[in-house]
Structure 1
Amino acid sequence: MDSVTTTPDDRRRCSVLGIPVDACRDVCAAAIGLHVRGGGRIVTLNAEMTMAAREDPDLGDAITSADLVIPDGAGVVWALSRQGIRVLRSPGIELAWSLLSYAARHHWRVALIGAAPAVMESLRQILPAKHPGLDLVMAVDGYQSAERWPGLESELLKLKPDLVLVALGVPRQEIWSVRLSEDASGLWMGVGGSFDVWAGTKKRAPAWMGRLQIEWLYRLIQEPSRWRRMLCLPAFVLEVLRRGERVSR
């Protein structure tokens, strides 16, 4: 069995506009190391979530109390670079996929929560085929009645999964994970639209757009209704420039 080790010193907690984010040498090693130490919550931070967290105290608290906050968005990476902190962008979808691969090889129990019923049905077939040996102990879509959620949550906690991937959208997935993981072990991670991509109902931006850091434009083309949400991006840039955050000595 392969072994991956890390230490708490593998990451350095920084902040962007007052919202915490971790600078890591290897986000996957940091996540696996977190599992070794009993588990915790992982948040993937981008510019949109940063701005939302400044307005939503519950989301802000969920990010602040997370055990690992990775720089998912190009804007966050840019803001950190202005502080003299050089990190690579770490897309949450790629970390989640790496953790699924690791889970299959190391006999972790995995739970999937969220997305549409058809998407979850596809994932029940696709993920075990892509990750032979994957122990998928729960796969529940996010379109459950209010009456069903307490029972599903109780069942999830009894299963004691090693990895819980939650696709309920921001901020619901982060706030829900705070409540459920309070007395639980394992890794809990919000994955946004990753399930839709894995199921093939949505596509990621081409690699060249990622290199140019304009994946946001691809998402806007796919979902024009997101334009109002995208207004936070120039606001984020202006606020970073206004505050003039620099590396602390």
Structure 2
Amino acid sequence: MSEAIAQFLEQFPVLGLPVHVFDDYSGWLLSRLHQNIGSHVVTLNAEMVMQAEQNPTLANIIQQAELVIPDGAGVVLYLRLQGRRLRRCPGIELAEALLRQAGQLGKSCPVFFYGGAPGVAQTAADVWQQRLEGLAIAGIQHGYVEPDAQPQLQQTLKDLQPRLIFVGLGVPRQELWIAQNRHLVPNAVWIGVGGSLDIWAGVKTRAPAWMADNHLEWLYRLYQEPWRWRRMMALPQFALRALVK
């Protein structure tokens, strides 16, 4: 991949936020890793778009991210209404593609898992280590880090200098945390993976394929996490905004 291609991605706006369009996101990120160019990856969905409307700091982080992928079905449908045809790219699938590439690269591409309840990140890392014998795991940290322990975590990242950093703290916390700390490992790919750690660890499951194919993953997530119903109210708000755009 040429340097020019590695630096530029076409983008389309979704209610003022960018979505980058490319056929091979993981290959693009791998090219940047080879060039020692850091990246913040945002997995954009409708809920995050609506949060960004109320949170200027989050909106600015998304606008400044090197890669914003169309994670949510609502984002894809919005762009299709604007005449832009593109495929959805679930963040968990991009993260898994990056992990497989890291497994092939071995010690030259160590990874760091941060987030989830105590034990979740460790279990997720163990699962991937079993799948990919060549995977180099630089470090693991659950997401319940007290404020006074953050400096130690920051120093650990600075010392280890992992190349891939998966942050599962939920939106918008993970995006804010990445923006605040990515200077510690400037050449890494940082990606907010939300609940992916729970899925890898077997704590939760992904929606069945038929639900994903019919844009109903949000319903399955609500089934697993009924407490999210208030946050899910962002979905009809987003749909209304899309229709009256």
Same fold (TM over 0.5): yes
d(CA) in 2 for partners of 1:236, 1:33: 34
**Aligned residue in 2 for 1:151:** 152
1:137 matched residue in structure 2: 138
CA shift, 1:31, in A, is: 2.1
> In structure 2, do the counterparts of structure 1 residues 204 and 5 end up closer, same or farther at CA, with 3 Å as the change threshold?
farther
Q: Separation in 1 of the partners of 2:49 and 2:211?
A: 22
C-alpha distance in 2 between matches for 1:67 and 1:182: 14
**How far has the Cα of 1:120 moved from its partner?**
2.0
Aligned alpha-carbon RMSD (Å)? 1.5
How many residues get paired?
240
Distance 2:2 2:34 in 1: 9
State percent identity of aligned pairs: 43
| Deviation for aligned residue 1:5 | 6.5
Q: Which residue of 2 aligns with 1:208?
A: 210
Among 221, 228, 231, the alignment partner of 2:230 is: 228
Q: How does 1:93-242 map to 2 (within 5 A)?
A: 93-107=92-106, 108-182=109-183, 184-242=186-244
What do residues 173-220 of structure 1 show as CA deviations (whole Å, max 9, x unaligned)?
111111211351110000000000000000100011111111001011
1:27 partnered with 2:34:
no
Q: TM-score, normalised by structure 1?
A: 0.92
Task: Show structure 2 runs of 5+ residues with no match.
Answer: none
Superposed displacement of residue 103, structure 1: 0.5
CA–CA separation in structure 1 for the residues paired with 2:178 and 2:64: 11
* Aligned-partner Cα distance in 1 for 2:7–2:88: 19
Return the letter of the residue paired with 1:235: Q
Secondary structure of 1:113's aligned partner: strand
Measure the CA separation in 2 of the matches of 1:192 and 1:137. Answer: 20
Question: Hey, what does 1:18 align to over in structure 2?
Answer: 16
Aligned residue number for residue 247 of structure 1? none
Q: Deviations over 1:99-122 (max 9, x none)?
A: 011001012110111111121231
The change in CA–CA distance for 1:17 and 1:125 in structure 2 (over 3 A counts) is: same
Which whole-Å CA distance do the structure 2 matches of 1:211 and 1:156 have between them?
38
4+ residue runs of structure 1 moved beyond 6 angstroms?
none
Amino acid at match of 2:92: I
Equivalent position of 2:49 in the other structure? 50
Q: Where do 5+ consecutive residues of structure 1 fail to align?
A: 244-249
Aligned residue identity for 2:73: A
